[in-house]
Amino acid sequence: MSTTFQLDTATSRANPTPAPMKRLTIPAIRRRKKDGVTEDPIVMLTAYTARQAQLLDAHCDLLLVGDSLGQVIYGLSSSVPVSLDMMVNHGAAVVRGSYHAAVIVDMPFGSYEQSPQQAFESAARLLKETGCAGVKLEGGEAMAETVAFLTQRGIPVMGHIGLTPQAVNLLGGYNARGRSEAEAKKIVADAKALDEAGAFAIVIEGVVEPIAIEATRAVACPTIGIGGSPLCDGQVLVTEDMCGMFERVPRFVKRYADLAGVISGAAADYAAEVRARTFPGPEQTYQPK
Ligand code: KIV
């Protein structure tokens, strides 16, 4: 896939060159898994801003506007306080900044759990105001009715099971799930319930590997792992973790760059040049009369 793109400054869109690519559709993503096999693994990364989307777009099948933006962008201690307005604003920016990947926007805590009707209102707002292709929500069997309600009304839904960060207060932390037999059974049952309800894909987060594999084999739709197993049908990471923006990252994250080092190094060089008055100014320095 081409890694070059031209920025259209009028629209903020990054058009891959030479021939613009067509945006991937949800049915095309769903069809990647045929008879239990995904030959072409699904690549997903989080994106929260237009510029980030421009840089990631050509490399990804899916861009996820995750509610992890609560911690990553807003410095919150969890995703619980994230609002629908935040998701709308960042979702719209990511759609404007992308051209090829299908954009999925997270439904934040409190915007969908009360009833299928509440979920429909929130999801419809996300689709209308951002232009995203679908939404993601957390929860398994308990959310199956809602997933069916949304998909039957034209809203593609990605499920999210295992470690579900919006339930951090109930779970008591972000530890891997599926260690006990009861938890393992529940995760596989959750995957099946979402699949049967019509989810087009399911994120499996923070689950011991044999259970991530069992859940992947148990469903017809693709699974997307994060701290699950490389044998899931696709993978997702928080882009800032992947790029080394934070000193502390989950154990399963491989860093592909040291952006924190690059940015603080650039700031240190800039500060030194300003303080030494060697900062390159305009060619014509100001001459008092
Ligand atoms: O909010 C998020 O970024 C997510 C991914 C980690 C799957 O849900």
Tell me which residues have their CB closer than 6 angstroms to ligand 1: 46, 64, 66-68, 106, 160, 203, 205, 226, 236, 238
Place 251 in a pLDDT band, splitting at 50, 70 and 90: confident
Say how far apart CA 223 and CA 200 lie, in whole Å.
9
Res 249: pLDDT: 85
What is the whole-number distance in angstroms between the Cα of residue 238 and the centre of ligand 1?
Answer: 7
Predicted local confidence at residue 2, as pLDDT? 42
- What percent of the chain lies above the pLDDT cut of 70? 91
pLDDT of residue 284: 60
Task: Looking at the CA of residue 236, tell me the nearest atom of ligand 1.
Answer: 7
pLDDT at 43: 98
Structure-token pair, residue 207? 């689950």
Q: Which residues contact 58 (CB under 8 A, 6 or more apart)?
A: 1, 2, 3, 5, 14, 16, 21, 100
Query: Any idea what DSSP says for residue 12?
Result: T
**pLDDT at residue 216 tops 70:** yes
Query: What atom of ligand 1 comes closest to residue 44's alpha carbon?
Result: 7
Lowest mean pLDDT among 4-8, 63-67, 146-150: 4-8
Confidence of residue 279 (pLDDT cuts 50, 70, 90): confident
CA-67 nearest atom, ligand 1 = 1
Which candidate in 138, 205, 214, 240 is catalytic? 205
Q: Which pair of structure tokens corresponds to residue 63?
A: 């861009």
Mean pLDDT to the nearest integer, 5-29: 74
Lowest mean pLDDT, pick from 20-29, 36-45, 163-172: 20-29
Which tens digit of pLDDT belongs to each residue from 165-209?
999 999 999 999 999 999 999 999 999 999 999 999 999 999 999
**Residue 43 phi/psi, 5° resolution?**
-105, 120
Q: What separation in Å is there between the alpha carbon of 276 and the centre of ligand 1? A: 43
Residue range 112-133: mean pLDDT, rounded:
98
Confidence of residue 1 (pLDDT cuts 50, 70, 90): very low
Flag whether pLDDT at 211 surpasses 70: yes
> How far apart are alpha carbons 128 and 95 in whole angstroms?
12
Q: Which of 49, 238, 245 to mutate to test the pocket of ligand 1 (most atoms within 8 A of CB)?
A: 238
| Best mutation site among 106, 246, 249 for ligand 1 pocket (most ligand atoms within 8 Å of CB) | 106
Structure confidence at residue 248 (pLDDT): 86
Written as one string, the DSSP assignment of 123-172 is: HHHHHHHH--SEEE--BSGGGHHHHHHHHTTT--EEEEEES-GGGHHHHT
Annotated active-site residue 205? The verdict is: yes
**CA angle (269, 274, 278) in 5-degree steps:** 90
Residue 280 has what pLDDT? 83
Residue 171 has, within 13 A of its CA and on its CB side, a CA count of 18
The number of angstroms, rounded, from the C-alpha of 83 to the middle of its chain's C-alpha atoms is 16
Going by pLDDT thresholds of 50, 70 and 90, the confidence category of residue 285 is low
Q: Check pLDDT > 60 for residue 76.
A: yes
- Residue 210 in tokens: 């044999």
13 pLDDT more than 70: no
Residue with the smallest CA separation from ligand 1 atom 4 is: 66
Q: What's the gap in Å between 277 CA and the centre of ligand 1?
A: 44
**Among the atoms of ligand 1, which is closest to the Cα of residue 68?**
1
Q: Which residue has the higher pLDDT, 248 or 258?
A: 258
Rounded (5°) CA angle 131-62-34: 120
Give the 3-state secondary structure of residue 13: strand
Q: How far apart are CA 204 and CA 269, in angstroms?
A: 42
Residue 266, C-beta contacts closer than 8 angstroms, at least 6 positions apart: none
pLDDT band at residue 283 using 50, 70 and 90 as cut-offs? low
CB atoms under 10 Å from CB of 205, counted, come to 23
